[in-house]
Structure 1
Amino acid sequence: MCQENQVIKHLKDEVDIIDKNLQKLENQRYSINKEYINLLQEECKKNIGRCFKRMKNGVISYCKIIDIDEPILTISNYCFNEHQYPALWFNDSYKSSLHCPFYKENLFSGAWGKGNDIIGNLNGITYEEISNTEYMEKFKEINDKWIKALDK
């Protein structure tokens, strides 16, 4: 075998070794990331049930965190947004209407100061954490109005 072919074979062998090492590191990263996301999810589950009142331009909305965000599979691994929470919302200003007053929308942890709420701050939105009792009383009031509207 000529020297040039030996160099090519040597370089190919080195590339193969590096590829094997990269695959081991990718597998290790995947495993560690999975454990990391599981721990983050457990921590985030502690926020399920928290209730908030959002004020903007005199309009009051209420929300209750009902779940945690789902991990998303990307091209290389899973990612998880620990600042985004599905929540059940309704507005205080509901008038008798056949439109459902309740809707699902994300609440971001910036509402309680963890993370960022730059857009909310720019738009003059403020949040106040409230008790489950206060949320449920308001929920019942709005739900009763909706039932009356449907019953006509």
Structure 2
Amino acid sequence: MTDKESLPYRPAAGVMLLNREGKVFVAQRLDSTLEAWQMPQGGLDEGEDAEAGALRELEEETGIRPEHVEIIARTPGELTYDLPDDLVGKLWKGKWRGQRQSWFLCRFTGTDEDVNIATAHPEFRAWKWAEPAELPAMIVPFKRRLYEQLLDAFSEWL
């Protein structure tokens, strides 16, 4: 049994991507049968800057190129979430208790045709645009508080 409290948080970054109508990009993970939707996010490479990592993850997961993205804001600090006990020790080779994430609010300047979730290493099975207020109800329960914090942090732009 892994002692969750002794494990560090995995450094990560995420993107809340807004389209012209103010809706947020969300997608369903390939490795989950849950009806949960999430925003693009992922771990940072060793020594990688959070902004560079966020844009890299966005492109790797959605096919959206950095030239179709304009950064509007960044969370003042990192936000964290803990994995549920049944996932600690299973995900990320058991090295992390959850993630500490820098989040970026971005405007999508491209079109839906610029989205391609059939990437080299696909992570998502479906995607859509959602109302920001719907996000906490759409995410897996262990990330709900983080999504509520994101809505607060970016409220002046939403």
Question: Higher Cα Rg: structure 1 or 2?
Answer: 1
Higher relative contact order (CA 8 A, sep 6+): 2
Could you say which structure has the higher strand fraction?
Answer: 2
What TM-score do you get using the length of structure 1 for normalisation?
0.31
What TM-score do you get using the length of structure 2 for normalisation?
0.30
Could you say which structure has the higher helix fraction?
Answer: 1
